[in-house]
Amino acid sequence: MIVVAAGSGVRFGEDKMMLQVAGLPLVAHTVAAVSGHADRCILVCRPDQMPALSELAPGVDLVPGGPTRTASEMAGLEAVGEAASLIGIHDGARPLVGPALVEQLFDTAARLGGAVPVVEPGLLVRRSDLVKIDNAVVAQTPQVFRGEDLLAAFAAAADVGFVGADTAEVVRRFGTLEIGTVLGDPGNIKVTEPEDIELVRKHLESSDISLR
């Protein structure tokens, strides 16, 4: 499992990955939530974060990220070395992902080639003409794919300098894997705005989540 946490936090206003929540940086909780469900966990972060995270994530490999989400994902994939049979990529700002969802994603990817969790977004409209968008879903992470095909898709994307919104977009454009959807979890929220931190804090402070 690759956890991507190398963003600058510009939209949030500060480094949300290192915010202290229930006694640990936010991203440490994310690592704890997924690391027990994979043979190996790689945390892609900024170089300035490494000293603190090296002490908080024993057994997790730290890798410096790149200037874009796709570049950071590629850095994590390069750190894998020999292709794993299945590789998941998870957003460091989603610390509340549950074990059942992670296991279901790996099972689905093993069967189909790729798996992405999705949730219903509620009412969506196009900005251009305010027309309702039907049958839309919102993708979450982790997103899990067969390792060899995932590496090949990202190598092809790197050759042309493509930057995707998420892992699945790269695989769709540069791979041939079938991607299945799995019912996501509304509680698997992504910390994007300051108010999201309070929701996460409330949950984590009442749970037993800790680094493995």
- Consecutive 10-residue runs of the chain (212 residues): their mean pLDDT? 86 83 94 94 95 84 96 96 90 97 98 96 79 87 97 97 96 96 96 91 76 40
**Number of domains within the chain:** 1
pTM: 0.92
**Three-state SS for 167?**
helix
Residue 67 located in a structural domain: yes
How far apart CA 145 and CA 168 sit, in angstroms, is 9
Residue 211 lies in a domain: no
Q: Is residue 51 part of a domain?
A: yes
Specify the CATH number for the domain of residue 152.
3.90.550.10
pLDDT number for residue 211: 41
Could you list the residue range(s) of the whole structural domain that residue 174 is in?
A: 2-205
The alpha-helical segments, DSSP class H, found in 81-161 are 99-112, 147-160
Instruction: Give residue 212's pLDDT.
Output: 38
Do 182 and 109 form a contact (C-beta atoms < 8 A)? no
157 inside domain: yes
Rg (the chain; Cα; Å): 17
Helical ranges in 161-206 per DSSP H:
167-174, 194-205
Considering the domain boundaries, does residue 81 fall inside one? yes
Residue 60 lies in a domain: yes
Q: Does residue 156 form part of some domain? A: yes
Whether residue 210 lies inside any domain: the answer is no
Residue 129 to residue 94: CA distance in whole angstroms:
32
